[in-house]
Structure 1
Amino acid sequence: MTTQRILVASRNAKKLAELRRVLDAAGIVGLDVVGLDAVPEYPEEPETGATFEENALIKARSGAAATGLVCLADDSGLAVDALNGMPGVLSARWSGGHGDDAANNELLLNQISDVPDERRGAAFVSACALVGPNGDETVVRGEWRGVMLRAPRGDNGFGYDPLFVPDDAVASGRASAELSASEKDALSHRGKALAQLVPALRSLAGQ
């Protein structure tokens, strides 16, 4: 049986592991999930989109064009109701630098420190784009509603996970960073988006 490589346009090992778990759970075999570290470096297009979907497509198109592989990219972030949906597409660089989770979390907590508990609603949003070198494109979106804490909790996950308590009953008041990987896969915004890609991934694997 031939194995088809699929590029995930990320260097985040947790995102690669998440997709592999989704494939395993769906019983999909024959796809070799690799990240950007496994392919020759190429110039990555700047993420200039105004929406998560636009940025996911920019990344996936860039990866597919540069490598000739089917490319999966996600753009995700946190939309806080009291901040009119911000940080949104700026989530990873909310404090100025890119990917400084501690600084991003601290800034966000300061910005909503005066917001009462009943107005601390928020949603994690993930848009996933699957683009083939032949130009085929699939874009899906997943959302995960919850509320913002006043201090971080938990050591699992990344980004704003320690500040977010999902509405899902199964989370039982735990922060996203207090959930196990399997619990988070079943509930999260990215898990919901990736689940919508299962038919396309299954087709890609020839199943």
Structure 2
Amino acid sequence: MQKLTDIGLHPEQMLANLPVFLDRITALANELGLSLEQYQADHIALRVNDLDIAKALHQAWLAYGDEWSNNMINGRPIIVIGFHQPLNVGSWSIECLELPYPSDKTYPQEGWEHVEFVIPGKANNTDELKDVLESAFPLLEQEWPRLSEKGIKLKASSPSGEKERLPNPTYAFKKNGVCIKLHPCSLKDVIDSEYA
């Protein structure tokens, strides 16, 4: 645990940094024309580059919640820990943590990386999700063509684990090491679908 403290990634340090990170998320949402206050901040994710650090974080965060899932996605374990007490930040109550083990990609900054929000709607693929998002956020339709000139990277994907039965297409908006992801189903519902 001392190693995590030395690099600023102990859960207590990360929780202390959470309000600043959520301020950056809010700033990106405002730039995108997304009013996310009334939507569920489904989960928060962190990224690390070192396997030993990931293993240490996995164990450290188990003091704050229960392991909901340990699933292979895109060739690496993705751990989901449901908090004993949701993280309350601003208007959001975040119920779980996503901890991907490292892949061959190196992140310039380790620590908090993204928050995923549930935008409820019938969307089985990214095209249908785009319609849901434009309906929920009318300003977004004008923003799509301007994202790259604002320095915002856009990625549409449909990640899924081996046993998941619930499609959960995702749009990710990333800028300056902060990422907002939008999808139609909560991570808990997706995990529950594995056992349905």
Q: Higher relative contact order by CA 8 Å / sep ≥ 6: 1 or 2?
A: 2
Q: TM exceeds 0.5?
A: no
More strand per residue: 2
More helix per residue: 1
TM range (shorter): under 0.3
